[in-house]
Structure 1
Amino acid sequence: MPRPRVHDLDHLLDVAERLVVDGGPEGLTVRGLAAASGVSNGAIYHAFGSLPVLLGRLWLRAAEELLNLQIELVDAARGDGHEAAVEAVVAAASAPAVFADRRPMAARLLMTTRRDQLLGPQVPEELAEAMFALDKRLMMLLSGLARALWDRADRAGVEVMTLCVVELPTAMFRRTLTAPSADGPPEVAADSRERLKAAVRAALTLPPPPPHVG
């Protein structure tokens, strides 16, 4: 059986993404995906090997796209001085809302489904390594932002960046991005975007706690 072409794989992942968002990861089956996508069961197994692998690749695709967007927005906001460093953090924090504009189903997937819900013992080593590499790239982004702002990238500094870039956007955008909508994909309101930016700027007025010693 020939391996599906790349665009066919993207189509399969797009359909699986929608099914997971609508019914949760436990509701995705190979038979249901085959019916919804028009791709045979055999072709799906040939492409991914197992359902856990498909789910892992689905999460990884969305998370990589979001991280790439964060890096893109941070690079565009970079400049000299403290204010430019603050705006780079604000840009990274705003990325989930921009991502939701571009890829609403992927944004909903990341907001509604934890990575550990999609992973299982059947995930191959290469997929686990790809996820580890993604975590490393995120840590490099957070560390770089902390270093640019405070000239330090210790644990306390990275924790503040995590609050600004990961935790605050999740808390402020989750309700919108997970709510059902009869009028198409939900959009993050301009007011929510501006309040997030204000919250991030406020959080950055305080430096991180002193580095832990001992």
Structure 2
Amino acid sequence: MPRLAKYDEGQILGAAAKLVAANGPGAATMTAIGAALGAPNGSIYHRFRSRDELLGRLWLSKARAFQDSWAAGLTQAEPLAAGLEAALSMPRVVRADIEGARIMLLHRREDFLSDAWPQEMKAEAERLGRQVKDTLSEMTRRLFGRDTTSARRATAFATIDIPVSAVRRFVSEGGAPPAQIDEMIACAYRAVIEQERGAANGA
């Protein structure tokens, strides 16, 4: 029994992250995770009731880190700076966690979700969904003074779609995006926001 407590949740999720980042979700079997840790399968099942739960917790932990970094842009007092901070959070978090970036950007969300999740995991997934919706609405209102379909589309494109597209190629190649990418994201972000503001003012 003492051996069962040798490997904590963080170590197990870390091993799973390496396997998923290298070869996709299918590579993260309980046996493979145990082998990567040098641990018996019992050690894994002591922490996680099933593989679905393990992969789910891995996805939730990475999604939380990426989204929290994006939402933190709202702490900036000036609206344009707040949106830019959100946009630039993507290359920064990718550099900080390449494995997490490969998990989040190169694989489908559905590969990690399961109806068999415990209720607290389902609740966390729902919270993350609300966070995106609520943060996007607040960011849109701050940038444009309104939360219309057009303004929200521009906000999502400028702070999510552009940064994700900008870093994905580097992530797929196994590297971190260079500093130049931040400058390009910033230029594209400003152009989208200015275009939407101009359209709203009839320019």
Return the letter of the residue paired with 2:21.
V
2:110 alignment counterpart: 116
Q: Conserved in 2, the CA contact under 8 Å of 1:96 and 1:107?
A: no
User: Following TM superposition, by how much is the alpha carbon of 1:59 offset from its aligned partner in structure 2, in angstroms?
Assistant: 0.7
C-alpha root-mean-square deviation of aligned residues, in Å? 2.1
Cα deviation 1:102-141 (Å, max 9, x = unaligned): 2221122111122111113322332122111011112221
User: Following TM superposition, by how much is the alpha carbon of 1:155 offset from its aligned partner in structure 2, in angstroms?
Assistant: 3.6
SS at match of 1:204: helix
SS at match of 2:194: coil
Return the letter of the residue paired with 1:61.
S
Paired residues, number: 198
Q: What are the within-5 Å matches in structure 2 for residues 175-190 of structure 1?
A: 175-180=169-174, 186-190=175-179
- The answer on 1:193 being equivalent to 2:188 is no
- The answer on 1:66 being equivalent to 2:69 is no
Q: What are the within-5 Å matches in structure 2 for residues 1-214 of structure 1?
A: 4=5, 8-75=8-75, 78-79=76-77, 84-180=78-174, 186-207=175-196
User: Following TM superposition, by how much is the alpha carbon of 1:4 offset from its aligned partner in structure 2, in angstroms?
Assistant: 4.3
User: Following TM superposition, by how much is the alpha carbon of 1:53 offset from its aligned partner in structure 2, in angstroms?
Assistant: 1.0
Q: Conserved in 1, the CA contact under 8 Å of 2:94 and 2:100?
A: yes
- Segment of structure 1 superposing worse, 40-49 or 18-27: 40-49
Structure 1 residues without counterparts, runs of 5 or longer? 181-185
Structure 2 residues without counterparts, runs of 5 or longer? none
Return the letter of the residue paired with 1:171.
S
- Segment of structure 1 superposing worse, 95-104 or 118-127: 118-127
TM-score by length of 1: 0.84
Q: For the residues of structure 2 that align with 1:26 and 1:191, how far apart are their CA atoms?
A: 34
Q: For the residues of structure 1 that align with 2:148 and 2:22, how far apart are their CA atoms?
A: 40
Question: Against the structure 1 CA distance between its residues 137 and 4, is the aligned structure 2 distance closer, same or farther, given a 3 Å change threshold?
Answer: farther
Say which structure is richer in helix. Answer: 2
Identical counterparts, % of pairs = 26
